[in-house]
Amino acid sequence: MKLTQHMQVVNNELNIADIPVSRLKEEYGTPLYIYDQKGIKDQAKTFINGFHSKKFTTHIIYASKAFLNLYIAQLINEQGCYLDAVSGGEIYTLLAAGVPGEKIYFHGNNKTESEIILAFEQGIGTFVIDSQTDFYKVEKIAKSLNKEAKVLLRINPGIEASTHKYIQTSRDDSKFGMSSHDEDTVTLVKEMVKSDWLDFAGFHCHIGSQILEERFFFEEADLMLGFCRQMEEETGCQVREINLGGGFGVYYSQADRPFDYEKFLQSYIQVIEAAIDQYGLEHVDTVSIEPGRALINDFGTALYSVGGVKHTLAGKPFVFVDGGMSDNIRPALYQAKYEAALANRMNDEVEGEYRVAGKLCETGDQLVQDAPLPEARIGDLLVIPRVGAYTYTMSSNYNRLGRPALVFVEDGQSYLAVKRESYQDLLRNDYNYKNKED
C-alpha cells in the first residue's frame, strides 16, 4: 500500500497526522473515515496558486458532491475556494456552513422549482444553465420573484475522455449540457443574451471525471474558447466568464499515473491565455475550474475492524470488515480499485493476497480484490487509503447499517466532524404502521 503524505509507520503501526490509528479506533470506533486536514489545506493552496493568471481572475470551485458536510465546507471556504452545488440539499448545507451565496455555483440538469426559489432567495451567485427547459424555468422564477441572476450555459464539446463510461459527461448522447455542434444551442444563447432577468456571462463545461491524461483538458480548453469566439460572432454575446469544470484524475492503485497538478495547472493556464489571445476574446475576466476528487480524495482514509477470515473452495481468501458497500459503493458501481493494509501490523510479512469484503448482504460487497496482507486475524485494523471523494457522499443505510463516524486530524489532534449514525437515527423518519390511533 502506497502511504499518503501525512502517514507514517511508527512501531509497526500506521499513524495519520501523528496519531496512531488504534487511538482513533478507541476514541471513535470503526468503521471510521479519517481526513487529513493539512493535506486538504495544502492541496487547495496548490490549486489556488497554480491556477493563477495576471490576465484574468481565476476561481477554484470545489465540486462539493465529492464530499460535503459543514466541517469540510467551512474548511474549503476558508482556503479561498468557491463551491458548487447541484441540489437544494447541497445549497442548504453550504449556506448553513456560512459560505456566502455569491460564492456558490448552482448546477443541475433538472433543478426543481423549490430549489431555484431557494437559490434566488439566498442570493446564489451563478446559475449554470443546462438546457432550454432549465433556462425557461430559471427565467420564469426570476421574473416572478423580481430577481436577477448571473448565468453560464453548460456546453458539451463532445470529447470522449478515457475514463469509466458512467463518469464520462461529454459524449454526444450525454444527459448534461447543450452540444457545441447543435443549432439549438445558438438559438438558446441568443435568447439568454436577450433575457431581461438573467445576465448571460459565458459558458461552462465538464468533460468527465477521473481523467488521467492532461491532453483532454488542453483539447477541452481549445475547443471551448474556439466555441466562445464562434458564439460571439453568431449571437453577439460577450463572453466574460468561462468555467472549464473538473475531472483531474487521482491515484487509487498502481495502474493509475496521475499528472503533477502543480506543473499541469501552470501549463493549463498558459494554454488558456494563449487561446484567449488567439480567438480574440476581449471580454473574458474570469476563468474557473471545478476540482472535486483532486482536492479531497488522497486525504480520506477508511479504518475498519477485521471480524473474520474465510477460505472458500475457489478464489482468494476473504477478510471481512465491519463496513462495506454502504460506506463505499465505488468498487461495486465502477469496479474501482483500492489498496489496503493491516494498520496495526504494517511491517509484518505478507502472507498472501486477500479479498476485502464488507458485511452487507450482497456478493458485490467487496472493497478490494487483491490486497497483499499478513495473515489476518480477528481484531486487526484494516485501512483503505484514498477514499476521500465520492464515498461518504454516496453512502447508504443498506441493511440498516448506520453511516460511519468521520474525523479530521492534524498535528496530533482529532476533530469529530460527523458523528456515527445510531440505531435511533435509522428510525428518525419512520412512522408506525398503526399510527393513526396514536
Judged by the rule CB under 6 A, the positions of this chain that interact with ligand LLP are 63, 65-66, 107, 167, 206, 209-210, 245-248, 290-294, 330, 334, 389-390
- Which residues define the annotated binding site for substrate? 293, 330, 334, 362, 390
Given the residues 81, 205, 237, 361, select the one marked as catalytic.
361
Q: Measured from the CB atom, is 61 or 149 closer to ligand LLP? A: 61
- CB of 146 vs ligand LLP, minimal distance in Å: 29
CA 344 to chain centre: 30
Nearer to ligand LLP (CB atom), residue 61 or residue 269: 61
Say whether 364 sits in a helix, a strand or coil: coil
Q: Considering beta carbons, is residue 67 or 279 the nearer one to ligand LLP?
A: 67
**CB nearer ligand LLP, residue 389 or residue 409:** 389
**Dihedral class, residue 236 (left if φ above 0, else alpha if ψ from -120 to 50, else beta):** left
Strands 32-36 and 300-310: antiparallel
Q: How far is the CB of 156 from ligand LLP (least distance, A)?
A: 11
Task: Quote the least distance from Cβ 325 to ligand LLP, whole Å.
Answer: 13
Annotated binding site: which residue ranges?
247, 290-293, 330, 334, 362, 390
For the bound state, the minimum distance from the C-beta of residue 302 to ligand LLP, rounded and expressed in Å, comes to 14
361 is catalytic: yes
Q: Write down the number of H helices and E strands in the chain.
A: 12, 21
100 exposure class (CB count in 10 Å sphere: 0-12, 13-18, 19+): middle
**Helical ranges in 177-260 per DSSP H:** 183-194, 214-235
Between 291 and 323, name the residue whose CB sits nearer to ligand LLP: 291
**Residue among 217 and 408 whose Cβ is closer to ligand LLP:** 217
* Cβ 330 to ligand LLP shortest distance, Å: 5
User: Residue 435's Cα: distance from chain center in Å?
Assistant: 40
Q: Give the span between the Cα atoms of 20 and 254, in whole angstroms.
A: 26
| C-alpha–C-alpha distance, residues 240 and 232, integer Å | 11
How far is CA 141 from its chain centroid? 29
Q: Which is nearer to ligand LLP, 163 or 344 (CB)?
A: 163
Measure Cα distances from 67 to 71, 90, 187, 290, 385 in Å: 10, 10, 36, 13, 15
Quote the DSSP letter at residue 389: S
| The three cell numbers locating residue 98 | 456560512
Residue 187's SS3 state is helix
CB of 214 to ligand LLP, least distance (A): 14
Distance CA 34, CA 215 (A): 33
- Three-state DSSP string of 298-357: HHEEEEEEEEEEECCCCCCCEEEECCCCCCCCHHHHHCCCCCCEECCCCCCCCCEEEEEE
Binding-site annotation, residues for pyridoxal 5'-phosphate: 247, 290-293, 390
H/E element, 417: strand 413-418
Residue 312 corresponds to which cell in the numbers above?
472458500
* Residue 176 CB, nearest approach to ligand LLP (Å): 7
Catalytic residues: 361
